[in-house]
Amino acid sequence: MRASFFALLCTACVSAPQPTPVSPTALKGVTLSLPTPQDARRSDNIGCGQFAPQPPQAVGRAVVASLGETGLSFAQQAPWVLSLSVTFAGTGDEYVGAQRGPPQFGSAPAGLAFEERSGGMNAGWDDTSLALDATLERDGNLVWHGTVTGHASSVPCVAHREKLDEATRDAVGRLRVELIRRMASARQPPP
């Protein structure tokens, strides 16, 4: 019993994968406008009874820092515009409700409040995720629209906010790779 608890605890402490290295000149000469990311989540609940109203602001700061490492510059008015919405942030099934405030207790039978529809107690709570809906435009024309999701392996309700930060870094890293690829191909002259 102690060994399994220790193994479970160690799993929560595994370090996050390092972000993909990027050239500091990958987007040199590109100017981007980044409006404040929108919060399109159905709830501020991120699981385990915790609420996080700040993911859009954290995503905005992380995107600026990450893209700044590529040589990209930012301006209010720019030829390139990246619009972001946080559509999903948290762990498990608890936070996916339609409400944007604390849960109303008494709605689930005793013992079933944390049971997921697809499995048993805390099923699927080993992955903390953050999903971003992204739209990249150049001079008002759509270049790319897609969803990027970051993940962090987790143990139910252990270091929950830290794992959400890790998932945010993963999502932003994936977004950066996609944006470099899309911007590079859109900047190439046609053959």
Q: Say which CATH number the domain at 169 has.
A: 3.40.50.10610
**Do residues 22 and 68 lie in contact, with contact meaning Cβ atoms separated by under 8 Å?**
no
Q: Per-residue pLDDT for 106 more than 90?
A: no
The reply to whether 24 falls in a domain is no
Q: What is the rounded distance in angstroms from the CA atom of residue 10 to the CA atom of residue 142?
A: 45
Reported as a single tens digit per residue, the pLDDT across 149-183 is 999 987 777 887 899 999 999 999 999 999 999 99
Q: Per-residue pLDDT for 115 more than 50?
A: no
The count of structural domains within the chain is 1
Q: Please choose, from the candidates 130, 139, 131, the residue with its C-alpha nearest in 3D space to the C-alpha of residue 33.
A: 139
What does pLDDT average to over the chain? 78
The reply to whether 5 falls in a domain is no
Q: Per-residue pLDDT for 90 more than 60?
A: yes
Confidence of residue 117 (pLDDT cuts 50, 70, 90): very low
**Do residues 55 and 10 lie in contact, with contact meaning Cβ atoms separated by under 8 Å?**
no
- Indicate the SS3 state at residue 81: strand
The reply to whether 64 falls in a domain is yes
Q: What is the pTM of this model?
A: 0.74
List the domain range (segments joined by +) for residue 184: 37-97+124-191
181 vs 190 pLDDT, higher one: 181
Choose from 40-44, 67-71, 105-109, 115-119 the range with maximum mean pLDDT.
67-71
Taking residue 159's Cβ as centre, other Cβ atoms within 10 Å add up to 15
Q: Residue 168 corresponds to which amino acid?
A: T
Confidence of residue 92 (pLDDT cuts 50, 70, 90): low
Overall average pLDDT of the 41-66 stretch: 88
The reply to whether 105 falls in a domain is no
The reply to whether 116 falls in a domain is no
The reply to whether 114 falls in a domain is no
Q: Per-residue pLDDT for 86 more than 50?
A: yes
Looking at residue 2, what is its pLDDT? 54
Confidence of residue 73 (pLDDT cuts 50, 70, 90): very high
The reply to whether 177 falls in a domain is yes
Looking at residue 1, what is its pLDDT? 52
